[in-house]
Structure 1
């Protein structure tokens, strides 16, 4: 006889198996696995490589202030002296460590040493030798640099809000209108327009004010400079800028009030039919419309423009070869402090010795990271220049397709190293100032099988559009055929994409009547 699935015996057996499966099994197991972890030194090298020259200068100033074992080289003689001292220290380190351990075992009396942070108060300045002198000179130079930076700092430009509040203050208005006017001004967006409707702004104001007073206040703000501020939409912004003496005033008001979309699509015949204006008047009014600013607030900004400092300079020698030179005048040469190297050899206590060694190792890592950065940047830049020689000879129209992997293969580094080396770096060339990333880009093949960069195709596309018959502009299909005549076989969607990216209007919008 078969036992039913729902019988008590079957349920007990199933619960017993489930209980056994849920028992925890505690055991020790050995497992081998490989993990790749970046050492702190490698992380620091990558960070230093990615820094542009001015950021590197700030990093060095920070390290000079924090690391007592790091100093600036005063002159060229410091280079050989410091390097020799460091090498000698490396050779003596093992011997002295072994000797120190033997002496520690044989000595029974305790030795007391002052900590490193108390050395400056224990020893007079005249016994510190070159250490204090270099530190003093370093502090003087850092102070001079900070003073120069403050002296050349641009004054904060006046913002749109500051300008409008200053102008609005000249109106002799009741307190409630003055307070609401300040609130309105502070609620304008960066384009100078009112955010939301006037009714919504009254509700946000949260204080008693009539709609009539609110409308009067908004009208006062719309009288301020720049013309067009305080508008609630584009139409009102443009209409506020039309004066009684504006040429084609009536035609402008008509076009702005009801035909902005038709103007954007260049539907001149439709506008002519709807308004009864002749084409010449419409074209003349459109030219006047181009002088109006739909974003009057954008003339003000709270941000100051940043100067670009090139990291690399490219020059041409007498033989016609282009050479790379790092512009590192802002970057001081660094060395290990001889004073603290000497203190390390004087056999300090274990805590002091560990502190000094830590600072010296940190200084060595920084110096080596900077040298590695400069060497990598120089090699990467030279490889770029060698590949883009035609660019420097004939101009941007001769730029060649280039991928970072190609430069990585030439230099013998990983592609991410090339990416970090060129990131936020600028190069001064005989043809102007360019970001290093400017020389990288994809491309395609011509009908002859030659590689051509996308930049060249974009320039050719612009040239074709500029020289077309504006009364019968080329469609995207026609642009494809024109590019094919020059050897560039591209799909229509590719041409359309580049036309839009270059802000080239469609053929209908480019047509002139």
Structure 2
């Protein structure tokens, strides 16, 4: 192994804990982050929060000293933190003589804090297990190599609420390292092969059907070997799913040679499969939503995001334990290492929270800048937007954007929206302009709802009606979107209307 490779491995070992914690903190919504901080304050004696009354009475010199100490603390496992440790020991000599007595909480204060923490935990709503949580837990059952596991986790984070993977695998690949620009194509092929292997792993997790990219693939993944109708079910799903959905059983019988009785029986078996395997993880009751981001307008009438983190406590590394470091220097090695480890953990958390704030703010602002028309004019003006576009604009990886917007909400003048709401696919209209899927969907549904039910509009007629509303798309696009919205064909809509009138 070369010296450069050894250095690179050492750097990865140092960065891995920070990166893991930063990703976890970034993904937490504001309420979950508050819970995490409360737990850390209880678990780590070296982590403290600034009390409002203490903040007001604190002298400028003391406050400045605390700020400097936080900035100077550097976590670096490769050097075992000896330099930082000695600096902290020296800092302790500059503390007031009576600081230990003033910093150590009284027994009454300890009991009061414990009671308050217990009440908070008792009244805290348990966070339900999400689909991502459930799948991540299952990954630990496999002995996956690190690269394969990271790619599987990336796929899991990209699944929608129904358990489908709507993003192409190519969009989930990591960027090409600068040193590999000469062999970028080989790197992408290698990563794509890794992504395909990772997707296979995810598709073998529970619930069956998760990780599918289409309804057909979802149903096929749920077929069990040994089921008496498994071969016939596979044939119908692979080749005749649309015929089943449209009740064209005679055509299926003619093409397959199966009797109508057998087809009906197999169709009943297929109906037992779950078209939305991830839906069971959705909460039955609508959860309380607290926005992480608020939207305001500045003096120039420009939208500006503001993070709602004012209630998060201001954290710092305990000066009391910094003073104990001087005593620990003469104590046993275990005590010394314990204090160093807890100080490192406290500082890492402080840095991760600040990084979350910075990343979330930049990502949210980039989203708002792109969707200004939506905010001004409403949902019909939403623009097509992919996470990769925001990642490129902010200068981060697409998975960072995904974590930043996950379970985060934004308060706007038009209401509260999940940040993921602003990412929508689209199509290209007849004039070459991008049109968001939501725009087509809203207009298409509106036209169908208002049509004469005795004379429903054909897809060609829907194209003309959409053009009157400024949405110029091809007939095949209308057909594709109509089917995706589960809108029956004009003939089916006419038959249903006639049946409803007769009844």
How far residue 447 of structure 1 moved from its aligned partner, in angstroms, is 3.0
> Which of 460, 466, 480 is the equivalent residue of 1:483?
466
How far residue 392 of structure 1 moved from its aligned partner, in angstroms, is 0.9
* 2:366 maps to 1:393: no
What SS does the corresponding residue of 1:373 show, helix, strand or coil? helix
> Could you say which structure has the higher helix fraction?
2
Q: What residue is the counterpart of 1:359 in the other structure?
A: 342
> Which of 20, 23, 32 is the equivalent residue of 1:55?
32
How far residue 480 of structure 1 moved from its aligned partner, in angstroms, is 3.1
How far apart, in 2, do the equivalents of 1:387 and 1:128 lie?
A: 55
1:72-221 equivalences under 5 Å are 72-75=49-52, 76=55, 80-87=64-71, 94=83, 97=86, 128-132=101-105, 138-139=113-114, 141-146=116-121, 149=124
Are 1:72 and 1:138, in contact at CA under 8 Å, matched by a contact in 2? no
What SS does the corresponding residue of 2:316 show, helix, strand or coil? strand
1:48-447 equivalences under 5 Å are 48-75=25-52, 76=55, 80-87=64-71, 94=83, 97=86, 128-132=101-105, 138-139=113-114, 141-146=116-121, 149=124, 303-346=284-327, 347-349=329-331, 350-447=333-430
> Structure 2 length as normaliser, TM-score?
0.55
Change in Cα spacing, 1:461 to 1:71, as seen in structure 2 (3 Å) is same
What SS does the corresponding residue of 1:402 show, helix, strand or coil? coil
What SS does the corresponding residue of 1:132 show, helix, strand or coil? coil
Are 2:25 and 2:352, in contact at CA under 8 Å, matched by a contact in 1? yes
How many residue pairs get matched?
315
How far residue 138 of structure 1 moved from its aligned partner, in angstroms, is 4.6
Q: What residue is the counterpart of 2:174 in the other structure?
A: none
How far apart, in 2, do the equivalents of 1:321 and 1:95 lie?
A: 44
How far apart, in 1, do the equivalents of 2:414 and 2:470 lie?
A: 28
How far apart, in 2, do the equivalents of 1:375 and 1:30 lie?
A: 37
Are 1:312 and 1:326, in contact at CA under 8 Å, matched by a contact in 2? yes
What SS does the corresponding residue of 2:105 show, helix, strand or coil? helix
Are 1:69 and 1:340, in contact at CA under 8 Å, matched by a contact in 2? yes
How far apart, in 2, do the equivalents of 1:304 and 1:68 lie?
A: 37
How far residue 449 of structure 1 moved from its aligned partner, in angstroms, is 3.1
Change in Cα spacing, 1:141 to 1:333, as seen in structure 2 (3 Å) is farther
Q: Deviations over 1:429-462 (max 9, x none)?
A: 1111111011012223333333221111111212
How far apart, in 2, do the equivalents of 1:95 and 1:456 lie?
A: 56
What SS does the corresponding residue of 1:452 show, helix, strand or coil? strand
* 2:439 maps to 1:456: yes
How far apart, in 1, do the equivalents of 2:292 and 2:50 lie?
A: 21
Q: Which runs of 5+ in 1 are unaligned?
A: 1-28, 101-124, 154-263, 266-300
How far apart, in 1, do the equivalents of 2:43 and 2:34 lie?
A: 14
Change in Cα spacing, 1:89 to 1:373, as seen in structure 2 (3 Å) is closer
How far apart, in 2, do the equivalents of 1:57 and 1:474 lie?
A: 53
How far residue 474 of structure 1 moved from its aligned partner, in angstroms, is 0.7
What SS does the corresponding residue of 1:313 show, helix, strand or coil? strand
How far residue 397 of structure 1 moved from its aligned partner, in angstroms, is 0.8
Q: Deviations over 1:218-273 (max 9, x none)?
A: xxxxxxxxxxxxxxxxxxxxxxxxxxxxxxxxxxxxxxxxxxxxxx99xxxxxxxx
How far apart, in 1, do the equivalents of 2:19 and 2:33 lie?
A: 17
How far apart, in 2, do the equivalents of 1:423 and 1:45 lie?
A: 14
Q: Deviations over 1:331-351 (max 9, x none)?
A: 222111111011113334222
Report the structure number with the largest CA radius of gyration: 1
Change in Cα spacing, 1:31 to 1:410, as seen in structure 2 (3 Å) is closer
Q: What residue is the counterpart of 1:274 in the other structure?
A: none
How far apart, in 2, do the equivalents of 1:454 and 1:464 lie?
A: 15
What SS does the corresponding residue of 1:314 show, helix, strand or coil? strand
Q: What residue is the counterpart of 2:450 in the other structure?
A: 467
How far apart, in 2, do the equivalents of 1:319 and 1:502 lie?
A: 40
How far apart, in 2, do the equivalents of 1:87 and 1:381 lie?
A: 27
How far residue 128 of structure 1 moved from its aligned partner, in angstroms, is 4.4
What SS does the corresponding residue of 1:470 show, helix, strand or coil? coil
How far residue 388 of structure 1 moved from its aligned partner, in angstroms, is 0.8
Q: Which runs of 5+ in 2 are unaligned?
A: 75-80, 90-97, 128-244, 247-281, 499-503
Are 2:100 and 2:320, in contact at CA under 8 Å, matched by a contact in 1? no
